[in-house]
């Protein structure tokens, strides 16, 4: 059955955060809680997926096929959307077959999984990579790893208006800058397509070799917006998806103080980088920032163990 476009336009609340290091720096922070848009189709993932679904429906596609790792937030949201809205989904996974909380969820939600090994996954950038898969899954719409692509970026541009519509609710006439984690750079690029005047900081949660800067530049170029200015902040902490004790402590301490759950791959690292940025005096006193909570809480389970506090599918 061809994909039907779901009539779902989630909104995320804007919530002020009060933390000791913010007060010490004289900085105000509000959090756009994308983690609250849905328990499963969570965070920024839906906003990146929605344009691909629209395209898939327009061409009469039979399902969606994408890539990710054994803990992928992107595949998790895609599988959940497929289960909820009634379309088939296929996931091509990095590495050898393994049992993880995420992989278990993907299977329970009906996603067809294929483990590519590591060499097979590295081949995803080859020009003919998709040929055998689209022969096997004829009529399926390809979605880039992590939702990477101009369509995914444009789907995130709505976050600007979503936040601005709620400024009066938190007593702000305006704000100065954005702060968000960057993995593929898709959400960052989408925000830059919409934002014309405020500073945008991307806390790079992956090592620089992952190509965030070049991917953002490519997306902006494709959109005819190469002149957009932003700043990438190092936040990878020596590797992707690595949890050291200072980061664990920061996450648990921040959650207790704010009531906002974080995860160690993206949001925890991004907020910790903001703390360090504030402590080094790189933001003027009186600055107001919006931090985009990009969700991904399902990924807590593999790294945080007993501290995960996440309900499985």
Separation between Cα atoms, residue 168 and residue 173, nearest integer Å: 6
The DSSP output letter for 95 is: B
Q: Cβ neighbours of residue 250 under 8 Å, at least 6 residues apart?
A: 268, 271, 272, 275
Q: Cβ neighbours of residue 5 under 8 Å, at least 6 residues apart?
A: 53, 54, 57
Residues designated as active site? 72
Q: Cβ neighbours of residue 178 under 8 Å, at least 6 residues apart?
A: 191, 195, 198, 199, 200, 201, 289, 290, 291, 292
Rg (CA), the chain: 19
Q: At 219, give phi and psi (nearest 5°).
A: -60, -45
């Amino acid at each position: 059955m061809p994909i039907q476009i779901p009539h779902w336009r989630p909104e995320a609340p804007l919530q002020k955060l009060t933390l000791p290091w913010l007060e010490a720096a004289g900085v105000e922070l509000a959090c756009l809680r994308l983690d609250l848009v849905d328990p499963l189709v969570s965070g920024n993932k839906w906003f990146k997926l929605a344009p691909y679904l629209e395209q898939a429906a327009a061409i009469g596609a039979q399902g969606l096929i994408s890539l990710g790792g054994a803990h992928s937030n992107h595949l998790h949201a895609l599988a959940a959307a497929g289960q909820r809205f009634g379309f088939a989904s296929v996931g091509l996974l990095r590495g050898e077959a393994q049992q993880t909380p995420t992989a278990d969820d993907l299977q329970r939600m009906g996603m067809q999984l294929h483990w590519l090994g590591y060499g097979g996954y590295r081949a995803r950038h080859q020009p003919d990579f998709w040929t055998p898969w689209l022969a096997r899954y004829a009529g399926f719409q390809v979605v880039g790893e992590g939702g990477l692509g101009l369509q995914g970026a444009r789907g995130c541009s709505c976050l600007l208006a979503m936040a601005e519509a709620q400024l009066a609710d938190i007593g702000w006439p305006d704000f100065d800058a954005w702060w968000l984690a960057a993995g593929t750079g898709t959400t960052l690029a989408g925000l830059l397509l919409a934002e014309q005047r405020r500073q945008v900081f991307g806390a790079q949660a992956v090592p620089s070799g992952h190509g965030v800067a070049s991917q953002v530049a490519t997306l902006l170029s494709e959109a005819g917006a190469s002149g957009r200015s932003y700043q990438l902040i190092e936040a990878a902490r020596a590797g992707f998806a690595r949890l050291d004790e200072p980061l664990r402590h920061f996450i648990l301490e921040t959650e207790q103080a704010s009531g906002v759950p974080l995860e160690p791959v993206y949001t925890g690292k991004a907020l910790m980088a903001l703390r360090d940025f504030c402590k080094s005096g790189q933001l003027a006193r009186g600055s107001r920032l919006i931090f985009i909570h990009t969700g991904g809480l399902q990924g807590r389970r593999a790294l945080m163990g007993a501290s995960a506090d996440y309900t499985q599918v």
